[in-house]
Structures are given as C-alpha cells and as structure tokens.
C-alpha cells in the first residue's frame, strides 16, 4: 500500500506551506495528476464555462446594448445600469424607460442574447425554438435562453454559498469531535446521528415552505442540512491525524489547541473534505432545482432552471421547456461529479497505484 | 451482544429527543398561524375577500376556540410536553386540516408508498448486482467502461428532469402515449376485472414511477458492488479456491459474491430515507396518493400534526434502519466485533 508515502508528501507540503506560506507544493502536484485524466479535465472546463456564464450573465443576456450611439452621444447602457443599481448614477432623461431595441437612428452593439430573464412579452407566449428565441419562450413570453443564463447565476451562487455554510459547520464540528474525543466526541456524534436520521429533503421542504421565499434563506437552509457528511470526514481524519507524532510534538511544545487543530492538522485533513465540497456543490444545485420545481424556496418571480421545468410539467406540449433547463442542471451536476471523482482519484491515497 | 444492544438503545434516546425537539420547534417557530390559515380558508369559501368588523369579531372568537381545542394557546414547552406524551402512547393527534386522526391518514397512504418503494428497491438490486458482478469480473473491459460511464451519467440525471421528460414525451401530450400521466389505476378501473387485467393496469401505472425512483439507486449500487467485489477478488482465499480447481463461475458466485454482499447491507439503510425524500417529487408529479404527497400537501397547508408525525416516524424508522443494518452486518460478518467498530 502506498498510504505512507502519500500522507508524508501531504504532510511535507503542509509544513512547507506553514514555513514559506507559498502553499504551492501539494496543489501543483494535484493539478499535474488531475490534468492527466481527460474526462475530469473536461468536467473542469465545463465548470469554468458555467462559472463564466454565471459571472457575466448580465453581459450575455440583456435587453440593453453594450454600446449605444444615440443623438450624437455615446452610452454604455449595461455599465450604466450597474451605476443606477448602486445609486452612483442615473439614466439620462432620453434613455429613461426606453426600449433600446426600438430606438430610432441609434447605433448599438447588443449582447448575443437580446433579452433579460425577466422580460415579459405577452404577445409571444410559449413560442417554440426559433432564430429569435433559440430555446423558445415560456407562457409569459420570457426568453428561455436568457432565463437559463440568469438561472445559472442563481443555481451556482446557491450551490457555492450553501456548501460554504456546510463546510464551515462541518469542519468546525468535525474538528472539535475528532480532536478532543471522549465525551465531546460522543455528544457531537449524537448530533451527527440526529442529522443522519432526519429526513433531510422533507425538512428542507418544510422549512422552505414555512419561511418566506428568499434566495438567502434557501442558501442557509440547504447549507444547514448538508454538512453532516463533511463533518464525519473531518472527524475521521482528525481522529487519525491526532495520534501522529508531529501532532504530539506540537502539543508537547505547548502550541495552543486551536493552532494545532487549524494550522497543523486541518491542512492534512483537507483532501477528503475537498472532494466532498465539490460533490456537495452538485448536490446543493440538485436540491435547489428540486425546491424550485416544487415552487418553494426561491421567489416565484425569479426564473430558475427548476422553475422552468415546473412549467414544463404543467404545459406538456412545450417540450422545449423540459429539454433545455433540465439538460443544464444535468450538465452542471455531471461536470461537478467528474471534477469531484477526478480529485478523489488524485487525493485519495488508497486509490493510488490502482491505475 | 446484549450489552451492546442496551448501549445502542441508550444512545438512541438522546438522539430521539433531539429529533423531536428539532421537528417540533422548527414547526412552531415558523411564521404563519395555522388558525389564521384555517380561518382564511373558511372565509374564502364562504364570502371571499373582505368582511365587516363585527364578523371579524366572530371569526376571532372562533379562532381562539379552535386554538384552545388544539392546545395552541398554551406556552411552547407545555405544547411540546403534551405532544411528546401523546407520541409515546403512539397517538399523533388530529389533523388541523380536516380533523381526521393523523394515524388514519397515514395508514391510508402507507400501503401505496411501501408498494412503490419495495418495487424500487427490488429493481435497484435486480439491476445493480448483476451489473456489478459483470463489471468486477471483467475489469477495464469495454463493457465495464460502458457500464461505469452509464452509471456515472445516470447518477447525475436530476430526478425532476427525468420525471418531466417522461411526462412530456411518454405520457400523452404531443408525443408518445406509452404510459399514463398519473394516478395508480385507470379511470374505468373496476373491482370485477380479472386478476390479470388488474395486474396489467397496475404495472402500467407503476412502471414510470418505479423506474424513476430507482435509476440513481442502481447507478450508485452497481458501483459499490463493483468495488467491493474487486476488493474480495484480490483476497488470497480466492486464489486458493481457483488453485484447487473450482470453476470460475463457482468461485465468483459462491466464494466472492457472498462476501462482497456484506457492505451492501449497510447501503440498504441509507437507501430507505432517500426513497422517502425522492417519493415527494415523484408522488407530486404523478399524483400518486402516497406519504410523500401527503407530506407535501400537509406542509403547504401548515397541518403541523401530520407533518410532525411524518417527520418523526421517518426519522425513527431511519434510526432503527441504521441499528438493524449494523446488527445485520455483525451477523453476516463474524469478523466484526460488537462495540468495536470503527466509523
């Protein structure tokens, strides 16, 4: 078994990170081996593409142009809308509440998708895909591509923040349980057992349906119900590492508990946690889409992948409402799974040498 | 073994109390008054919209009376104590929605959910175990790669998407009409049908829900099966079995399969809660009158007693499931010593 050498390299990398603060060692190594797996790498590129779409949703699907030349003046309406949004600027009088696409005598450069997710057009309800609306429209005439681009932002941000919350709770509880052991471990393990036996999805639906709809509450609820896996991984790693010689040495030298836990042990315990973080993002995105599908959690006026799917389940002739947003969820989840699996192969010492 | 059992039971008590505390207080802390909701429902049916001041007084009185009837006017900890006392005598109280005993409501829906879940578990194992055996005995072959990839892809297919696609493309609409869009029986279903016709009708209705509930289960389980079989195949005693001239089929099916089934016992416990969670979506989409649909409807109607009963029952069943699978694991694998298992 190649357990020892790899945990030694991880330890070496961590001590290097402690000493020099560069932290490159382990991660350059991980990236090098991760890159050799073409499927995982493809997943990684898809993840990057999705992050790009989510970050620049306003620049990809917008009813405002990037650049506008109108009545001998030049405007950058998308940037200006950010200024207006943050109260730093105002719309010039001649552009207030205008439809940019119908301005006469104007020269404009539009984003590739000329609609926002919230542009309602009751004249074009449930249009099948065409060159105008690539993926069709919903029953309020909203463009599906635009809805999906902006939905990517909602899904990914919920995935990231929810997992962020879960990681913080999971690592802190897992570290305390694994490091101190004895009765503290016993008590915290009861908490794990409670979280494991509670029907999580049912709890989620209950809380999300009882509280007012809000993105932030949805993030918090998903985060607070999905930390138990990470906590158990962290606890088990801490239990193992706590008995290694270098930790005993650190304790003997009088390093405080908190420092031993988070500076000496945590960097070495991070590998399995990182895999569960990546898989957790996929899980949170799945849960969010299920909640939106059931019509709870995210406010109804926001277009999400799940809410488009819900419309598809009631207007079954509109196949475009079912195919595209569902495929987006599928590709996102698959990409995160692939990256997670790739990372697991690279990071999990027990799998080394099998391939 | 008796000592271990007692220890496990004692440890389950604080867990049980924690579960009930979480369930109860989440339900009661949430904004939204069930009395208001009930009154609004009644008013909506009666008059619709605004009511005069004196009528409002009557409504308030009725609401106060109703709160007193269900004990909602008492302080929270007293309510918890009363609920807990009733729970221990297995009484879940009456539904806020229609004053039916919660127990009856659950008993009415239970057979449907059990039928759905038993069929899905059956399909999961029926597909996953042969696939796992095939993959493990032909590692890295073309077939293994295809099943690995297929399992991986299936695992990533969101249930809501698969269900919606099935609804749009297979259940009428503008495309194929291969399966019914919902329900458990045809509209012209009658008790006088011969058994075979009833069975066919039932299978026709259950096919999609069962497949949808089980596909990610067999995708996951076939992977577990593959890896645990590979682990056993690498053991020395398998070499011995081959060396003494046993047929490969006997080696695989008698010596390897049995030992690699051991870890699957624990997975059964973790499949159960997943099926209950998944059945909320499936039962809602295909309008199947099971526990998932009951739970979702009760949540939306703020029917606290029913939601709490489902929540607690499901948590306790999972707790017992974990205990049973731990015990089973020790029964089928004598190498495991009670109380000394590593997590």
CA distance B317 to chain A (A): 8
pLDDT of residue A332: 94
Across the interface, do A197 and B11 touch by the CB < 8 Å criterion? Answer: no
Q: Is some CB atom of chain B closer than 8 A to the CB atom of A171?
A: no
Q: Residue A337: closest CA among chain B residues belongs to which residue?
A: B156
The SS3 call for residue A301 is coil
DSSP string for residues in B262-331? HHHHHHHHHHHHHHHHHHHHHHHHTT--SHHHHHHHHHHTT-HHHHHHHHHHHHHHHHHHHHHHHHHHHH
pLDDT of residue A19: 43
A 233-262 near B (Cβ less than 8 A): 235-236
Of B265, B308, B271, B282, the C-alpha closest to B112 is B282
Query: Cα(A338)–Cα(A321) distance, rounded to whole angstroms?
Result: 26
CA angle B45, B51, B54 (to 5 degrees): 125
Q: Is some CB atom of chain B closer than 8 A to the CB atom of A269?
A: no
A11: tokens are: 């330890």
Contacts of A236 in chain B (CB under 8 A): 343
Across the interface, do B277 and A330 touch by the CB < 8 Å criterion? Answer: no
Q: Which member of B278, B299, B322 has the closest CB to residue A206?
A: B299
Q: pLDDT tens across B207-249, in order?
A: 888 888 888 878 888 888 888 888 888 888 888 888 888 888 8
Contacts of B324 in chain A (CB under 8 A): none
Residue A113 · residue A60 · CB < 8 Å: yes
Query: Cα(A248)–Cα(A46) distance, rounded to whole angstroms?
Result: 43
Size of interface A-B (CB pairs under 8 A): 151
* Cα separations in angstroms, A325 against A70, A148, A280, B152, B238: 36, 6, 20, 20, 49
Q: Which residues of A117-127 are buried (b: 16+ CB within 10 A; e: fewer)?
A: bebeeeebebb
Q: How confident is the model at residue B269 (pLDDT cuts 50, 70, 90)?
A: low
B244: tokens are: 């003494």
B 31-60 near A (Cβ less than 8 A): 31-32
Average pLDDT of every residue of chain B = 79
Query: Cα(A41)–Cα(A250) distance, rounded to whole angstroms?
Result: 38
Does the pLDDT value for residue B267 go beyond 80? no
Q: Which residues of B146-157 are buried (b: 16+ CB within 10 A; e: fewer)?
A: ebbeebbebbbb
DSSP state of A211: S
Does the pLDDT value for residue B1 go beyond 70? no
> How many residues comprise chain A?
355
What sections of B31-158 are H helices per DSSP?
Answer: 34-46, 53-69, 76-88, 102-137, 142-156
Across the interface, do A290 and B281 touch by the CB < 8 Å criterion? Answer: yes
CA angle A202, A203, A209 (to 5 degrees): 90
Residue A237 · residue A266 · CB < 8 Å: no
For chain B, the straight-line distance linking the first and the last C-alpha, in angstroms and rounded, comes to 19
Contacts of A316 in chain B (CB under 8 A): 167-168, 171-174, 181
Other Cβ atoms closer than 10 A to A93: 6
| H or E element at residue B202 | helix B195-233
pLDDT of residue A11: 46
Across the interface, do A202 and B311 touch by the CB < 8 Å criterion? Answer: yes
Contacts of B27 in chain A (CB under 8 A): 206, 210
CA distance A297 to chain B (A): 12
B26: tokens are: 């989440």
Query: Cα(A224)–Cα(A168) distance, rounded to whole angstroms?
Result: 10
pLDDT of residue B39: 67
The SS3 call for residue B170 is helix
A333: tokens are: 């989840």
Q: Residue A39: closest CA among chain B residues belongs to which residue?
A: B149
Other Cβ atoms closer than 10 A to B191: 5
- Enumerate the β-bridge partners of residue A70: A73
Q: Which long-range contacts (CB under 8 A, 24 or more apart) does B79-85 make?
A: B79/B24, B79/B28, B80/B20, B80/B21, B80/B24, B80/B25, B83/B24, B83/B308, B84/B20
B 133-162 near A (Cβ less than 8 A): 152-153, 155-162
pLDDT of residue A115: 82
Of A176, A129, A163, A167, the C-alpha closest to A148 is A129
pLDDT of residue B181: 78
Residue A220 · residue B44 · CB < 8 Å: no
Residue A299 · residue A215 · CB < 8 Å: yes
Q: pLDDT tens across B157-190, in order?
A: 999 999 999 888 888 777 778 788 777 777 777 7
Q: Which member of A205, A322, A338 has the closest CB to residue B299?
A: A205
> How many residues comprise chain B?
343
Query: Cα(B50)–Cα(A339) distance, rounded to whole angstroms?
Result: 57
Q: pLDDT tens across B187-212, in order?
A: 777 777 788 888 888 888 888 888 88
Query: Cα(B154)–Cα(B134) distance, rounded to whole angstroms?
Result: 18
Q: pLDDT tens across B105-145, in order?
A: 888 888 888 888 888 888 888 888 888 888 888 888 888 88
B54: tokens are: 């004196």
- Enumerate the β-bridge partners of residue A74: A69
Share of chain B above pLDDT 90, in %: 1
Contacts of A266 (CB under 8 A, 6+ apart): A171, A175
Which residues of chain A, if any, have pLDDT below 70?
Answer: 1-25, 348-355
pTM: 0.84
Q: pLDDT tens across B70-79, in order?
A: 777 777 788 8
């Amino acid at each position: 078994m190649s357990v020892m050498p790899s945990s030694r390299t991880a330890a070496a990398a961590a001590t290097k990170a402690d000493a020099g603060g560069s932290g490159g060692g382990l991660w350059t190594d991980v990236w090098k081996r991760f890159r050799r797996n073409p499927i995982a790498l493809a997943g990684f590129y898809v993840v990057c593409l999705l992050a790009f779409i989510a970050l620049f949703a306003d620049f990809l699907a917008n009813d405002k142009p990037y650049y506008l030349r109108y009545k001998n003046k030049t405007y950058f309406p998308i940037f200006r809308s950010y200024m207006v949004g943050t109260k730093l600027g105002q719309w010039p009088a001649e552009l207030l509440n205008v439809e940019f696409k119908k301005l006469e005598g104007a020269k404009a450069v539009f984003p590739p998708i000329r609609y926002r997710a919230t542009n309602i057009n009751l004249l074009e309800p449930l249009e099948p895909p065409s060159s105008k609306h690539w993926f069709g429209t919903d029953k309020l005439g909203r463009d599906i591509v635009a809805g999906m681009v902006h939905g990517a932002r909602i899904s990914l941000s919920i995935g990231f923040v929810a997992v962020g919350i879960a990681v913080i709770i999971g690592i802190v509880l897992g570290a305390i349980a694994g490091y101190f052991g004895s009765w503290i471990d016993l008590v915290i393990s009861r908490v794990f057992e409670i979280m494991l036996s509670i029907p999580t999805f049912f709890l989620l639906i209950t809380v999300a349906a009882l509280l007012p709809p809000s993105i932030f509450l949805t993030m918090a609820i998903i985060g607070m119900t999905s930390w138990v896996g990470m906590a158990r991984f962290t606890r088990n790693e801490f239990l193992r590492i706590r008995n290694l010689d270098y930790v005993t040495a650190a304790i003997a030298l009088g390093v405080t508990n908190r420092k031993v836990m988070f500076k000496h042990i945590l960097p070495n315990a991070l590998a399995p946690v990182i895999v569960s973080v990546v898989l957790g993002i996929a899980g949170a995105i799945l849960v969010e889409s299920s909640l939106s599908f059931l019509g709870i959690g995210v406010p109804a006026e926001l277009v999400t992948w799940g809410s488009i799917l819900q419309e598809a389940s009631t207007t079954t002739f509109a196949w475009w409402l079912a195919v595209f947003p569902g495929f987006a969820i599928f590709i996102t989840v698959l990409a995160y799974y692939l990256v997670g699996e790739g990372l697991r192969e690279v990071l999990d010492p027990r799998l080394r040498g099998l391939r | 073994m008796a000592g271990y059992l007692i220890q496990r039971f004692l440890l389950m008590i604080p867990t049980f109390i924690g579960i009930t505390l979480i369930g109860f207080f989440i339900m009661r802390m949430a904004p939204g008054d069930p009395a208001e909701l009930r009154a609004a429902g009644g008013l909506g049916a009666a008059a619709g919209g605004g009511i005069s001041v004196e009528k409002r007084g009557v409504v308030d009185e009725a609401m106060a009376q109703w709160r007193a009837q269900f004990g909602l006017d008492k302080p929270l900890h007293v309510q918890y104590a009363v609920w807990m006392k009733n729970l221990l005598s297995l009484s879940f109280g009456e539904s806020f929605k229609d004053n039916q005993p919660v127990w009856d409501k659950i008993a009415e829906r239970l057979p449907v959910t059990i039928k759905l879940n038993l069929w899905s578990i059956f399909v999961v194992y029926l597909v996953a175990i042969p696939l796992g055996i095939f993959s493990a005995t032909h590692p890295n072959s073309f077939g293994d790669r295809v099943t690995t990839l297929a399992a991986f892809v299936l695992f990533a297919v969101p249930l809501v998407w698969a269900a919606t696609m099935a609804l749009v493309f297979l259940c009428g609409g503008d495309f194929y009409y291969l399966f019914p869009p919902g329900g458990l029986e045809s509209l012209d279903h009658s008790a006088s049908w011969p058994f075979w016709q009833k069975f066919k009708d039932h299978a026709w209705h259950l096919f999609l829900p069962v497949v949808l509930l089980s596909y990610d289960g067999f995708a996951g389980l076939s992977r577990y099966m593959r890896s645990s079989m590979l682990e056993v195949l690498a053991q020395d005693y398998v070499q011995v079995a081959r060396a003494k001239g046993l047929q490969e089929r006997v080696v695989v099916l008698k010596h390897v399969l049995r030992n690699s089934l051991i870890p699957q016992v624990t997975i059964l416990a973790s499949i159960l809660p997943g099926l209950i969670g998944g059945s909320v979506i499936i039962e809602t989409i295909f309008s199947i009158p099971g526990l998932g649909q009951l739970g979702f409807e009760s949540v939306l109607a703020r029917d606290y007693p029913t939601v709490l009963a489902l929540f607690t029952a499901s948590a306790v069943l999972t707790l017992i499931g974990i205990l049973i699978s731990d015990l089973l694991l020790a029964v089928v694998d004598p190498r495991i010593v009670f109380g000394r298992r590593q997590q």
